[in-house]
Structures are given as C-alpha cells and as structure tokens.
Amino acid sequence: MKIHLTDIDAKTPFKRKLTYTARQLHSENRDVKLRDVAFDLEVRVDPMGYVARYEFKATAEAECVRCGDIVAYPLQGQDWIALRLQPPSEHHLVLNADDMNTKFLAEETFDLDNFVDEVVDLEIPDFPRHEQECVAFESHTAPPTNRPFAGLADLIKPDKNQGDL
C-alpha cells in the first residue's frame, strides 16, 4: 500500500494498522517469512517534512546458518523516523542524532509494505541460528559424554548398529 505524503493533513496524523498473517520479507540477500505481523503506524507533518512513528510485533522465520532448519524470532519494537522529500543540502553537512533517524524519499509516495519490511528486517540477526543446539544436529549427535570421539565409530560405520554409545 502506498500513501501520498502530501495528502496528509497538517492537523490530522495519518494512522494505519497494518496486519499480515503471513508475508514474504522482501530482502535482497535472504529468505525470511514473517508471521502474525501487527504494525501500528502514524505519520504526521512536521516543520521539516514528516515524522513516522511505529510500533510492531511479528514473528520472523529464517534459515539457521548452522543447520538450515527454520529458526523463529519473536520480534517487537517501536521507534520513529523523519521522512524528508529533499536530499540534504550542501549547507547541511553536520550529522547529529536527528540525521541518523532520517529517511530521504525520492518521491512523495511512501510505500508502507516496503517500510514494514525495512523496519522488521533490521531486527533480524544477520546470521540467524538456533540459540541452543540445533535440533537437526542433536538427532545425529551422541549424548553428552566425557569421550569426545565416542560417536565417531558410528559415523565411520553407519551401517553397524552399536547400540548405546
């Protein structure tokens, strides 16, 4: 969904609750599915342009970098970001905290779905992995033992059932 920022009344913030039961995250370099996304957005006019405030909850499902199985991340967050239609001028080189939270838009249309993707994407670790042991690994791994190579014989002779390790 796209909104035209210039349509937003200075006195009436634009408010929208975006919900997706399942959504493929549009990310350049990874495959992430979002579930149960609830995204509250408010965009209001401010002297420099617009300010978007948001609050969200979602579950992200990504591939674990270790075992390849799906690892789920319950996510939530809230923040704000300034939306500017003009790129920073040469007279405006000083970076401060405000600039860090600024998004420069090439046009006055603002794509809400893309914005949700961008915001949620930031909360997902770069290298998703199961916090504890990977389940896929556990099923192939010997139980805890003081002999670190106790399970090796099984790996070398997978056809031979050796019972307890």
Q: Which one of 25, 52, 115, 130 is in contact with Zn ion (CB under 5 A)? A: 130
For the segment 108-127, give every residue that binds Zn ion (CB under 5 A): none
Under the criterion CB under 5 A, does residue 85 sit at the interface with Zn ion? Answer: no
Spatial neighbors of 71 by CB under 8 A, at least 6 apart, are 61, 62, 63, 64, 128, 129, 130
Under the criterion CB under 5 A, does residue 58 sit at the interface with Zn ion? Answer: no
Query: How many Cβ atoms from other residues are within 10 Å of residue 45's Cβ?
Result: 17
**Identity at 83, one-letter amino acid code:** L
- Specify the DSSP element, H or E, that contains 161: none
Spatial neighbors of 83 by CB under 8 A, at least 6 apart, are 5, 43, 49, 50, 51, 52, 102, 103, 105, 110
Under the criterion CB under 5 A, does residue 66 sit at the interface with Zn ion? Answer: yes
Judged by beta carbon, residue 31 or residue 46, the one nearer Zn ion is 31
Under the criterion CB under 5 A, does residue 128 sit at the interface with Zn ion? Answer: no
Judged by beta carbon, residue 23 or residue 130, the one nearer Zn ion is 130
# chain residues binding Zn ion, by CB under 5 A = 5
**Half-sphere exposure of 148 toward its Cβ, with a 13 Å CA cutoff?**
0
Under the criterion CB under 5 A, does residue 43 sit at the interface with Zn ion? Answer: no
Under the criterion CB under 5 A, does residue 34 sit at the interface with Zn ion? Answer: no
Under the criterion CB under 5 A, does residue 64 sit at the interface with Zn ion? Answer: yes
Under the criterion CB under 5 A, does residue 73 sit at the interface with Zn ion? Answer: no
The residue among 146, 97, 118 whose CA lies nearest residue 54 is 118
Under the criterion CB under 5 A, does residue 65 sit at the interface with Zn ion? Answer: no
We find the least distance from the C-beta atom of residue 126 to Zn ion, in angstroms, to be 15
Under the criterion CB under 5 A, does residue 134 sit at the interface with Zn ion? Answer: yes
For tokens 């199985």, the residue is 69
Q: Summarize as ranges the residues that interact with Zn ion (CB under 5 A).
A: 64, 66-67, 130, 134
